[in-house]
Amino acid sequence: MKKTLLAMAVLCAGQAYGMDFIYDVNGKFDQQKVAADIAAKGGVLKSCIAQIGVCQVAFSSVDSAAATGLALVPDATAFVPKVAEAMADTEQLSVSMDAIYSNPPASGDDDRFFDLQWGHVAVGAVDAWNAGYRGQGARVAVLDSGADGAHPDLAPNINVSLSRSFVEDEAWDYAGASVGNHGSHTAGTIAAADNGFGTIGVAPEAELVILKVLSADTGSGSSYGTMQAMVYAADNDVDIINMSLGLAVRRNGYFDLNDTPYDTSDDVRFEVGGKDGIAQFIATYSKAATYARQHGVTLFASAGNEATDLDKTDSLMHLPSGLPAVNAVSALGPQLWGANPGADLDKLAIYSNYGQSEIHFGAPGGDYSSLFIPGGDSSCTVAGITRDCYVFDFVFSTGNGGWYWSVGTSMASPHAAGVAALIVSANGGHMDPPNLEAEMRRLAQDLGKPGRDDVYGHGKAYAPAN
């Protein structure tokens, strides 16, 4: 087992510290005392989240950290879910950013690509807009890989002064070289502006706060950075957090190192006080999500793309979606929608995790199962754009300097977050999480067995219309 893979190497005060750990102080917080205690144990304090008494520290090795007797756990890596990256249709940037369109598509909306966005139909967004609910008054934090801050569909709604990066050496608006930036895509799904150009978000007048917690180049980031961002969002009057990211841990005590939850050969067991460190890691991570929820933030996260029944797994747990304070979102999608606009939009996607005890809501994430049925590789034309038919089953949204299709529970969670923003606007502004979640449940379409089920949770996320 390659224990050195647990975290990136860092260099502090001229001494090499090979690994980052998360330290839960578990008591009255005094940062100077924490720094002294860590130094006495042979480590270095990097930073702290004082509000929850959690710090990031570095030690030279797993063994040296484990020998301290402190409540330390590895700063496990969070990832952009792989299916979204693998299935991103980044080659299909549809038009130049400089193009001008004067003829609206068949929908009657003047945003050029609106008719590609079947997800808006699935969640009832248009009826909400017509009722006057467009996300106004809702502030949504997007914890992801940053976003293209100059994109004309995103820039009008981004709060630049509050947006931050929690990734070293990357600005929040550095979104990488490829059009296929994950954070730009999720941000646009939530709140691309209704500006007569490009796409429209589910809540086109919501305010976006871009909080980068994943590198735009590597697609990965530290769990501590995600925790920092959750607390920061709570302290800055955010209403809703979207986290289209995740990592796998196992309740049997093993950390998944390389986003390979079914390959345990590179997993590592880490103990805290003679006990499995997983429970400590989950409890520490949960402190940040609980802090955010207690301070008025409703949290949504992608449920994961392992096609796993999370009620029956061999101890696999997906984070942060599995935390008690977070609403987990499964992915739904059509088959051959490009050939049949009346296709069922609400089938569980082939890759999506599910499970009655884990899923709170289902939402459009797209599907790629049309690749495996007749007609999937035939040509279809939607809104004047011709591609292989299976492509139109993906979610179309903003990228860097353009737009592209992608698929995954990463695309489902922002649809649910956008619906939550519409509910906030329908109720005159800020809503406490219990009230917002209750309204989400009331409005959700109960498509599976009555009550909560393993595919849709409480139901498919659906927007208010009156």
Local confidence band at 106 (pLDDT 50, 70, 90 cut-offs): very low
Per DSSP, which regions of 200-297 are E strands?
207-212, 220-222, 240-243, 247-250, 254-255, 268-269, 271-272, 275-276
Residue 388 has pLDDT above 50, yes or no: yes
457 occurs within a structural domain: no
Determine how many CB atoms are found less than 10 A away from the CB of residue 87.
20
Residue 381 has pLDDT above 90, yes or no: yes
Q: Which of 145-159, 167-181, 311-325 has the highest mean pLDDT?
A: 145-159
Quick one: how far is CA 390 from the chain centroid?
24
Give the end of a domain, one of 75, 108, 128. Answer: 75
We report the CATH number of the domain holding residue 229 as 3.40.50.200
Instruction: Give residue 62's pLDDT.
Output: 80
Round to whole Å and give the CA distance between 300 and 150: 26
pLDDT digits (tens, 9 = 90+) for 277-321: 888 899 999 999 999 999 999 999 999 998 999 998 767 788 999
pLDDT over 70 for what percent of the chain?
85
462 occurs within a structural domain: no
Instruction: Give residue 351's pLDDT.
Output: 94
Instruction: Give residue 232's pLDDT.
Output: 98
Between strands 77-79 and 207-212, the pairing is unpaired
Residue 240 has pLDDT above 90, yes or no: yes
268 lies in the same domain as 345: yes
Local confidence band at 13 (pLDDT 50, 70, 90 cut-offs): very low
pLDDT digits (tens, 9 = 90+) for 209-231: 999 999 999 888 999 999 999 99
Instruction: Give residue 99's pLDDT.
Output: 34
Q: Which of 108-117, 235-244, 265-274 has the highest mean pLDDT?
A: 235-244
449 occurs within a structural domain: no
23 lies in the same domain as 35: yes
Who contacts 298 (Cβ-Cβ below 8 Å, separation ≥6)? 239, 240, 241, 327, 420, 431, 433, 436, 437
Instruction: Give residue 83's pLDDT.
Output: 65
What total of structural domains would you count in the chain? 2
Instruction: Give residue 358's pLDDT.
Output: 95
pLDDT digits (tens, 9 = 90+) for 398-454: 999 899 999 999 999 999 999 999 999 999 999 999 999 999 999 999 998 999 999
101 lies in the same domain as 60: no
Residue 349 DSSP label: P
Any bridge partners for residue 22, and if so which?
Answer: 56, 73
Higher confidence at residue 276 or residue 94? 276
344 occurs within a structural domain: yes
Local confidence band at 139 (pLDDT 50, 70, 90 cut-offs): very high
Local confidence band at 67 (pLDDT 50, 70, 90 cut-offs): confident
Instruction: Give residue 1's pLDDT.
Output: 26
Instruction: Give residue 102's pLDDT.
Output: 28
Instruction: Give residue 5's pLDDT.
Output: 25
Local confidence band at 248 (pLDDT 50, 70, 90 cut-offs): confident
What token pair was written down for 378? Answer: 């035939």
Local confidence band at 390 (pLDDT 50, 70, 90 cut-offs): very high
176 lies in the same domain as 62: no
182 lies in the same domain as 64: no
Give this prediction's pTM: 0.91
pLDDT digits (tens, 9 = 90+) for 331-361: 999 999 999 999 999 999 999 999 999 999 9
9 lies in the same domain as 87: no
Per-residue pLDDT, averaged over 107-117, amounts to: 75
Residues in the chain: 466
Q: Quick check: 325 and 283 in contact, CB under 8 A?
A: no
Residue 373 has pLDDT above 50, yes or no: yes
Instruction: Give residue 279's pLDDT.
Output: 86
Round to whole Å and give the CA distance between 203 and 260: 34
Q: What is the span of the domain harbouring residue 171? A: 79-443
173 lies in the same domain as 63: no
Give the end of a domain, one of 27, 52, 75. Answer: 75
We report the CATH number of the domain holding residue 36 as 3.30.70
pLDDT digits (tens, 9 = 90+) for 68-90: 888 888 888 777 776 655 555 54
